[in-house]
């Protein structure tokens, strides 16, 4: 047994070297830097942060590099690191109504207060290869000429770029990566500082289900520290989905749209932007601004025909995710509404409506561990199965032989 263990250890150490070699690839190709992954693969970093349950773009980029781009393995690295971090407390509830908007769209209102903000999106791009991306592009130089350039100045001697900054606009060269700013002269207007959320607009008319915190406004359940029981409350369900596998939730959300959920959803609003995080230290007693994080919020509006106690109205599904991750937030909001079926007296006949099914199978780190453990040695188990199959086959052959011998005797 000692020899087998040592032999296995040597093979494992050798596999570590092979992983490092495979990760590096052709050494004639420049190595990827973590900063490059963070800045140029932001959507992948957002997925890793969500499923790794930790907001840190630098660590997400490092995890992707270490995992050779395997998003689930990268999320596993984030989860493992997260368990080593001390917890100082809980932040104040985030106010997404005060989000600094990068993108904000609604499929329910064309002209909504604050307007539609397309921002960075692939929704209107052609799915055609851009082969110019195969070659590195030089860094853009500051724009010159009219508009944002320094050449044109007003009567007071202030450049348009400086004037734009003073009025709340930003020079495009200083915009965050992927943040599209309007370029037309007539479009250079600052966005509204606050944009009302579409469900709040419907709520003002009494057409949207009311959402109020539970009595006493208790602290939300923490599924990372407490065992989950069923039926699970909504705060537990939302936590599980926020760090759940995007593909799994996408499939469940698709199933709801195909009729396995009984809802007709509309995108009330999707907004992407930065939100301030505040924390109240015990020694101070007041909120301290810790900084900003990028979030994606989706509120899905669903029709509800009403019941004996509830009038016809719209109901909502909610999704919130780290970074720019619209598909995840949308899928989450679709499944959130499906999981509220029992609360509205609806039958829970489909997978997306069953909290135990969704919560137990949406965690890709746990699922990957359970599936991939099958690669590990199961020699003893398999030998037991092998002996069992051999014995059953032998007994079967003996019975068939006895039956064959009994046939002539019966004929006589």
DSSP string spanning 235-270? HHHHHHHHTS-HHHHHHHHHHHHTTSS---EEEEEE
pLDDT of 159 above 70: no
Alpha helices in 83-231 (DSSP H): 160-166, 198-204
Closest CA to 321 of 342, 299, 339: 299
> Cβ of 96: how many Cβ atoms within 10 Å?
15
Express each pLDDT in 345-394 by its tens digit: 888 999 999 999 999 999 999 999 999 999 988 999 999 999 999 999 99
CB 257 within 8 A of CB 300: no
- Would you state the pLDDT for residue 200? 86
Q: What is the mean pLDDT of residues 215-242?
A: 91
User: Using CA atoms in the order 211, 213, 214, 215, what is the torsion angle rounded to 10 degrees?
Assistant: -120
Q: 283-298 b/e with 16+ CB inside 10 Å = b? A: eeeeeeeeeebbbbbb
261 pLDDT exceeds 50?
A: yes
Q: What is the pTM of this model?
A: 0.82
Domain boundaries, the chain: 2-82, 198-370, 384-412
**How confident is the model at residue 406, as a pLDDT?**
83
Mean pLDDT highest for which of 91-105, 295-309, 320-334? Answer: 320-334
Confidence of residue 120 (pLDDT cuts 50, 70, 90): very high
* Distances in whole angstroms, Cα of residue 91 to Cα of each of 122, 210, 277, 280: 33, 24, 7, 7
Region 293-322 average pLDDT: 90
C-alpha distances (whole Å) from 373 to each of 19, 27, 129, 225, 386 are 19, 32, 38, 24, 20
pLDDT at 300 over 50: yes
Name the percent of the chain lying above pLDDT 70: 85
């Amino acid at each position: 047994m000692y020899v087998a263990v040592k032999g296995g250890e040597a093979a494992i150490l050798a596999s570590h070297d092979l992983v490092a070699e495979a990760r590096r690839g052709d050494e004639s190709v420049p190595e990827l830097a973590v900063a490059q992954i963070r800045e140029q693969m932001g959507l992948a970093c957002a997925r890793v942060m969500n499923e790794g349950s930790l907001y840190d773009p630098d660590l997400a980029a490092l995890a992707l590099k270490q995992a050779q781009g395997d998003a689930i393995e990268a999320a596993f690295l984030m989860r493992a690191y997260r368990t080593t971090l001390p917890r100082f407390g809980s932040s104040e509830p985030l106010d997404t109504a005060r989000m600094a908007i990068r993108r904000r769209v609604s499929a329910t209102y064309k002209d909504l207060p604050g307007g539609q903000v397309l921002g960075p999106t692939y929704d209107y791009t052609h799915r055609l290869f851009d082969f110019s991306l195969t070659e590195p592009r030089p860094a853009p130089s500051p724009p010159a000429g009219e508009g944002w350039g320094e050449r044109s100045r007003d009567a007071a001697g202030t450049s348009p770029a400086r004037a734009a900054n003073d009025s709340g606009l930003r020079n495009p060269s200083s915009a965050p990566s992927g943040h599209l700013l309007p370029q037309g002269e007539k479009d250079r207007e600052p966005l509204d500082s606050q944009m009302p959320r579409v469900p709040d607009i419907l709520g003002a008319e009494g057409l949207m289900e009311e959402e109020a915190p539970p009595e006493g406004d208790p602290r939300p359940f923490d599924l990372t520290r407490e065992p989950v029981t069923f039926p699970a409350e909504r705060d537990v369900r939302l936590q599980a989905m926020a760090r759940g596998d995007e593909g799994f939730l996408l499939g469940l959300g698709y199933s709801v749209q195909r009729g396995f959920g009984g809802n007709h959803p509309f995108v009330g609003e999707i907004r992407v932007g930065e939100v301030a995080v505040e924390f109240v230290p015990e020694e101070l007693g007041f909120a301290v601004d810790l900084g900003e994080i990028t979030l994606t919020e989706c509120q899905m509006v669903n029709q509800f025909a009403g019941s004996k106690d509830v009038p016809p109205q719209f109901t909502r599904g909610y999704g919130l995710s780290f970074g720019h991750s619209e598909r995840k937030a949308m899928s989450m909001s679709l499944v959130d509404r499906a999981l509220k079926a029992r609360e509205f007296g609806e039958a829970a006949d489909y997978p997306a409506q069953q909290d135990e099914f969704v919560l137990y199978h949406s965690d890709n780190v746990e699922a990957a561990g359970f599936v991939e453990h099958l690669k590990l040695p199961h020699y003893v188990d398999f030998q037991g199965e092998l002996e069992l199959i051999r014995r059953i086959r032998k007994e079967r052959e003996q019975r068939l032989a006895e039956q064959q011998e009994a046939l002539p005797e019966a004929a006589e």
